[in-house]
Amino acid sequence: MSISQDTAQGSHAWSDAELTSAVQAYLQMLRLELNGESYSKAEINRQLREGPLATRTKASVEFRMQNISAALYELKMPWIAGYLPARNIGSAVKEKMITLLKTSGIDFLNAYVPTSHVEALDAKVAELRRRQIGKKPLGTIRPVTETRSITTYVRDPAVKAWVLQLANGVCEGCNCKAPFLGQDSLPYLEVHHVMPLSCHGSDTPSNAVALCPNCHRRCHYAYERDQFKLELYEKIPRLVLEVPEPIPSETDVFIDLDVS
Ligand SMILES: [Zn+2]
Ligand SMILES: [Zn+2]
């Protein structure tokens, strides 16, 4: 058979067993690539044609690999750089490849799928840092946007101003001077609610502290943030411990950085 016949419509259709072996070989290569380990595409292509794809040409196996890249591209998952997603792939073929991929163990790729949810992003980042990324990512030149509703609290400017005035340019967490002057030419500190507003904390001086950006991030992201919170309560007599209420389920769209 000629290469063109085979790579275009194919002189005979691929069986499910053939497609599955191509997908499995592809995922094996992708795993190695993501881990930064070297492998030979030509060697794997040859092994496939000596085994389950004995009736296929080298070019037809390559083209099938590009089909798989196209399906992964559709799923917003990483694909093997050497197999550019095939453009002229029919939707039926793509759906078929997607179905096969989903039954071939692609959960390990979920951590790479972009997200607009900050908490989901951080969970993916943590997972990828645990695994180590073996290869510099391509990234996205023009990230897309998603629109959804954001819940935010109406806040009292006098409370924020009073807490900042009281701090007088010194962080109430670490007692260091504000690291720089803000756009208003005043020492830059952020006001944080010790009991988060999203846990029904109050917007009052007895629940608000003026912190440098480092201490503020520590309150939100540190491994020992609960301990740090207790230290703030002990250190700042103005603060009154409030009883938390359950966090609403839509918290992942609640932005609580208290920065603005
Ligand atoms: Zn500080
Ligand atoms: Zn905060």
Q: Are residues 7 and 102 in the same domain?
A: yes
Q: How many distinct structural domains can be found in the chain?
A: 2
Question: Is residue 120 in some structural domain?
Answer: no
Note the pLDDT of residue 90. 85
Choose the final residue of a domain: 106, 140, 165.
106
Question: Is residue 150 in some structural domain?
Answer: no
Note the pLDDT of residue 249. 53
Neighbours of 237 (CB within 10 A): 8
Q: Rounded to the nearest whole angstrom, what is the distance from the C-alpha of residue 125 to the centroid of ligand 1?
A: 26
Q: Are residues 177 and 86 in the same domain?
A: no
What is d(CA 76, CA 187) in angstroms, rounded to the nearest whole number? 44
Domain that holds residue 198: 157-253
Q: Which ligand is nearest to the CA of 228?
A: 1
Question: Is residue 219 in some structural domain?
Answer: yes
Q: Are residues 17 and 95 in the same domain?
A: yes
Neighbours of 45 (CB within 10 A): 22
Q: Which ligand is nearest to the CA of 190?
A: 2
Choose the final residue of a domain: 63, 86, 106.
106
Q: Are residues 241 and 171 in the same domain?
A: yes
Question: Is residue 126 in some structural domain?
Answer: no
- Give the residues of the chain that fall short of pLDDT 50: 1-9, 250-256, 259-260
Q: Rounded to the nearest whole angstrom, what is the distance from the C-alpha of residue 219 to the centroid of ligand 1?
A: 10
7-37 tens-digit pLDDT: 444 558 899 999 999 999 999 999 999 999 9
**What are the residue ranges of helices labelled H in the chain?**
3-7, 16-34, 41-50, 58-74, 91-102, 118-131, 157-167, 213-221, 225-235
Burial tier of 217 (Cβ tally within 10 Å: 0-12, 13-18, 19+)? middle
Q: Are residues 173 and 247 in the same domain?
A: yes
- Answer yes or no: are the C-beta atoms of 127 and 109 closer than 8 Å: no
Choose the final residue of a domain: 91, 106, 121.
106
Question: Is residue 178 in some structural domain?
Answer: yes
Residues 184, 190, 196: CA angle, nearest 5 degrees: 145
- Answer yes or no: are the C-beta atoms of 164 and 210 closer than 8 Å: yes
Question: Is residue 135 in some structural domain?
Answer: no
Q: Are residues 15 and 83 in the same domain?
A: yes
Question: Is residue 16 in some structural domain?
Answer: yes
**Considering just the CA atoms, what is the radius of gyration of the chain in Å?**
27
Neighbours of 203 (CB within 10 A): 15
Q: Rounded to the nearest whole angstrom, what is the distance from the C-alpha of residue 178 to the centroid of ligand 1?
A: 8
The SS3 of residue 254 is: strand
- Answer yes or no: are the C-beta atoms of 172 and 237 closer than 8 Å: no
Question: Is residue 229 in some structural domain?
Answer: yes
186-232 tens-digit pLDDT: 999 999 999 999 888 999 999 999 999 999 999 999 999 999 999 99
